[in-house]
């Protein structure tokens, strides 16, 4: 991405494993997706490539969102919609509900442990929807309300939450 843009994209191995799990539970062309801390857009583009028609990507970094928009245009996908806003502010004001919400905050973020509670407090998930949080090994969300499972792929950890 260049100077001034730091990102830690989900590894290909972890992404493939994640989408194998999702593929067993969702019809991609029937769901709405929210990608929080969108970064490079890697997860959003994976959803788009599998037929999702509505993907909202939120990131505070306007440069990252500009790159995502340019890549979406080059790929000819109209499914991705970018939102330039702090993720925590977006959660508070969002009036939509989603079938899948994915969040990949910077591992150094001080508020990672608050994200699952906020997703459910502001009721952003549709019934039978999933919230997936990517995080480092330093976090364990198994005691959280709505936690359903976790998966680890090397240094990438996913915690799953649902209604």
**Inside any domain, residue 84:** yes
From the list 45, 36, 37, 43, the residue with the least C-alpha distance to 73 is 45
- pLDDT at residue number 8: 52
CATH of the domain at 141: 3.40.50.150
Q: What is the mean pLDDT of residues 94-119?
A: 94
**Inside any domain, residue 26:** no
Residues 6+ apart with CB under 8 A from 29: 50, 51, 52, 53
Query: Is it the case that residue 69 has pLDDT exceeding 50?
Result: yes
| 20-49 pLDDT tens trace | 999 999 999 999 999 999 999 999 999 999
Query: Is it the case that residue 81 has pLDDT exceeding 60?
Result: yes
| 109-156 pLDDT tens trace | 889 999 999 999 999 999 999 999 999 999 999 999 999 999 999 889
Which pTM does this prediction carry? 0.92
Query: Measured between alpha carbons, how far is 81 from 131 in angstroms, rounded to an integer?
Result: 19
- pLDDT at residue number 40: 93
Query: Measured between alpha carbons, how far is 158 from 139 in angstroms, rounded to an integer?
Result: 10
pLDDT band at 58 (very low <50, low <70, confident <90, very high): very high
How would you classify the pairing of strands 98-103 and 32-36? parallel
**Inside any domain, residue 80:** yes
- pLDDT at residue number 100: 98
- pLDDT at residue number 163: 85
Domain count, the chain: 1
Structural domain boundaries enclosing 142: 33-107+120-156
Strand order in the sheet with 54-59: 80-84, 54-59, 32-36, 98-103, 125-135, 156-162, 147-153
Query: Is it the case that residue 5 has pLDDT exceeding 80?
Result: no
C-alpha 15 chain-centroid distance: 11
**Inside any domain, residue 27:** no
**Inside any domain, residue 12:** no
Query: Measured between alpha carbons, how far is 115 from 22 in angstroms, rounded to an integer?
Result: 20
**Inside any domain, residue 144:** yes
- pLDDT at residue number 9: 58
**Inside any domain, residue 20:** no
**Inter-CA distances, 24 with 18, 94, 133, Å:** 10, 28, 18
- pLDDT at residue number 107: 82
């Amino acid at each position: 991405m260049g100077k001034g843009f730091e990102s830690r994209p989900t590894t290909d191995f972890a992404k493939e494993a994640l989408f194998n799990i999702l593929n067993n539970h969702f019809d991609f062309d029937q769901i709405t997706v929210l990608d929080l801390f969108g970064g490079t857009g890697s997860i959003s583009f994976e959803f788009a490539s599998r037929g999702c028609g509505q993907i909202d990507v939120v990131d505070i970094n306007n440069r990252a969102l500009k790159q995502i928009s340019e890549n979406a245009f080059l790929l000819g996908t109209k499914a991705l919609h970018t939102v330039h806003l702090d993720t925590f502010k977006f959660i508070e004001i969002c009036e939509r509900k989603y079938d899948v919400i994915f969040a990949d905050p910077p591992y150094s973020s001080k508020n990672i442990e608050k994200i699952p509670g906020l997703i459910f407090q502001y009721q952003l998930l549709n019934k039978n929807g999933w919230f997936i949080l990517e995080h480092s090994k330093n976090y364990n969300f198994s005691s959280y309300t709505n936690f359903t499972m976790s998966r680890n792929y090397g240094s990438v950890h996913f915690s799953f939450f649902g209604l």
